[in-house]
Structure 1
Amino acid sequence: MTDFLEKTEQEYAGEHDRPIRGYLRILAVYGGAVAAAVGAAALTGRRAPDRIALLDLALMAACTHKVSRLLAKDPVTSPLRAPFTRYEGVSGPAELKEEPRNPVGELVSCPFCLAQWTATAYAAGMVFAPRFTRLAGATMTAVAASDWLQLAYARLMQKAS
């Protein structure tokens, strides 16, 4: 199996560095986490909501955006990324630019990549603890809105000067 994966990785990547085996491990962890959540829900008699209300979807989207950026770019969460990334500088207001050192580094430094994991965790939260999940979602949505207001304020102040 290792030879097959190595050959597939070489054929796929060509002259590029594409760590297919690392991505495969990440996919296995994600699939395992989803399977564990589904199994835990079945064992405890929990059910997914019959429908997702529009307000819940908006809350989930805004929360997913904020938590994904917080985990992937915020200076305060850099110790979580440090084993897998290399600091390169600042990429924007209150955001860092980091170079991934391995497939996990690519995942934890990419807000687009983390969004799937964040949204999945939020969905699981809606099954196991909907009230707490909505509260956490509202909190992170407020933080995201505050970020936009801070940026708008800074831009207005810059124009006024």
Structure 2
Amino acid sequence: MTEFLEKTEQEYEGEHDRPLGTYVRIIGVYGTVVAAAAVVAKLTGRRPPERISLLDVGLMAASTNKLARLLAKDPVTSPIRAPFTRFEGVSGPSELKEEPRNTLGELVSCPFCIAQWVATGYAIGLVFAPRATRLAGAALTAVAASDWLQLAHTKMVQST
């Protein structure tokens, strides 16, 4: 089986360095987190919401976007990413450009990649602490809206 997996990885990579084994471990950690949350929910009698309202979906989407960008790009969170990335410069207003040093660097510096983990955390939060989760989501959504207003203000001032 190991030979088959190594051959598959080599054939997939071709001339590129694609660490499939590490990706499998990351998927395993993600699956373990989701399974553990489901087991704990079952043992504690927690149930997912009967339905998710459009307002909840909007709040979840906006707050997931903001927290993913905060974790993956914000200068203040760069110490979290530093062991896995290398500083390259500034990529936008209050955002850094970093080069991943390894597979975890790829995960923690990519807002698209980390958004899956953030959204899963939000969903788990709706099961275990819905009020606190919605409050945190509302705060992050307010910050995201403020970011857009800041950018719009800057654009208006620059155009006059």
**Shared fold, TM over 0.5:** yes
Distance 2:153 2:80 in 1: 30
Output the CA distance in 2 between the equivalents of 1:8 and 1:99.
27
Pairwise CA distance, 1:17: 1.0
Give the C-alpha shift of residue 5 in structure 1: 2.9
Count of paired positions = 160
- Paired residue secondary structure (1:86): strand
Q: Which residue of 2 is the match for residue 48 of structure 1?
A: 48
Counterpart residue identity of residue 61, structure 1: A
Relative distance call for 1:78 and 1:2 in structure 2 (3 A) is farther
Which TM-score applies when normalising by structure 2?
0.98
Q: Which stretches in structure 1 are left out of the alignment for 5+ residues?
A: none
**Partner amino acid for 2:138?**
A
* Aligned AA (2:55): L
What is the alpha-carbon distance in structure 2 between the residues aligned to residue 2 and residue 159 of structure 1?
61
Q: How does 1:69-84 map to 2 (within 5 A)?
A: 69-84=69-84
The structural deviation recorded for 1:9 is: 1.3
SS for the counterpart of 2:139 is helix
Following TM superposition, by how much is the alpha carbon of 1:128 offset from its aligned partner in structure 2, in angstroms?
Answer: 0.1
Taking the aligned partners of 1:142 and 1:156, their CA distance within structure 2 comes to: 21
In the TM superposition, residue 6 of structure 1 has moved relative to its aligned partner by 2.4
Per the alignment, residue 154 of structure 2 pairs with 154
Amino acid at match of 1:127: V
- Considering only aligned residues, what root-mean-square deviation do their CA atoms show, in Å? 0.8
What is the TM-score normalised by the length of structure 1? 0.97
| SS of corresponding position for 2:149 | helix
SS at the partner of 2:48? coil
Instruction: Kindly provide the CA deviation profile for residues 114-135 of structure 1, in whole angstroms up to 9, marking residues without a partner as x.
Output: 1110000000000000000000
* Amino acid in the other structure paired with 1:58: G
Tell me the distance in 2 between the aligned counterparts of 1:15 and 1:153. 46
The aligned amino acid for 1:10 is: Q
- Segments of structure 2 that go 5 or more residues without pairing to the other structure are none
How far apart in 1 are the matches of 2:4 and 2:136? 44
